[in-house]
Amino acid sequence: MGCAITRKNRELDLTICIGSVCDSLKVAIVASDRMITTGDLTVAFEHDVPKITQLTGNSLALTAGPALIHTDLFREVKKTIHAGATPPINEIVDKIKKEYLAIRNRQVEERFFKVRGFNIEWFMQNQRALVPEIALRLDQQLERYSFDLSILIAGVDGSGAHLYLVYPPCCSECFEALGYCSIGTGERHADSTFITYRYTPSISVKEALYITYEAKRKAEIAVGVGRSTDMAIISERGIQFLRSEILEMLKHIYEVKIETQRLKSEEINRMIREIPIPEDTA
């Protein structure tokens, strides 16, 4: 189901970020909430700043996990890309992974290595000089350190629309064959929406836009997912963030559908109550 495989042995990412590709891999769509939640759930609020970050003129990134780490990460990535450039999406992903690993290892180094007077580079070259138990413990810290940041990258280049996920420890997966990817506590609810529609990358832009919106709304049932919604469309013409009036139209369609389903459910329940069964089993 979508990106569920990446949730193994991870803490909860209290948000929802969704990406989809459509129009036979010509267009990408993203959606997210604006909820900021502390790990212990004691503080939660809707932030004014969208979680969708524009990396280049043809790509966007969304994050689930620590609220601040990605700021430095994306800043460093942008430094390596010429202003106004629209590089291949896989190159952008490689740059993100390189900086992702650098930040992760820097955290490991600061927490476990510098207190002992050396860095990771020295450790890799001289670990045989250490007491075996210490060397083993440090090696395990380096391998198992939890850097719980997931990054969803969507974009369009000369080869079409692309959708990637970067996740701990520094892995990436391509999701355009599936057509969608969701991350955060609401991901299972979002994924089930795409599955219900039998979603494929060949679906039209307008249909994909609504389904992605509905997936976000369905995800709101999960803990830590906010009600505010931001969406954007990426095509060969560039990036368009959805205006409030379009979001209101999507909201209206969603509410009409929910009301229609409620009425149908009431009718089905009435039919069930009218099923004739033998009196001795009633």
Share of the chain above pLDDT 70, in %: 90
Residue pLDDT, tens place only, 90-131: 999 999 999 998 888 888 888 888 878 887 877 788 888 887
Is pLDDT of 12 > 80?
no
Structural fold of domain 12-98+147-242? Glutamine Phosphoribosylpyrophosphate, subunit 1, domain 1 (3.60.20)
Distance, in Å, from the CA atom of 172 to the CA atom of 5, rounded to the nearest integer, reads 12
Residue pLDDT, tens place only, 187-204: 999 999 999 999 999 999
Residues 216 and 18: beta-carbon distance below 8 Å: yes
The full set of domain ranges for the chain reads 12-98+147-242
- Taking the chain, what is the end-to-end CA distance rounded to the nearest angstrom? 40
pLDDT band per the 50, 70, 90 thresholds, residue 83: confident
Is pLDDT of 1 > 70?
no
- The answer to whether the Cα torsion of 39, 40, 43, 46 is positive or negative is positive
> Which of 28-42, 91-105, 126-140 is modeled with the greatest confidence?
91-105
pTM: 0.85
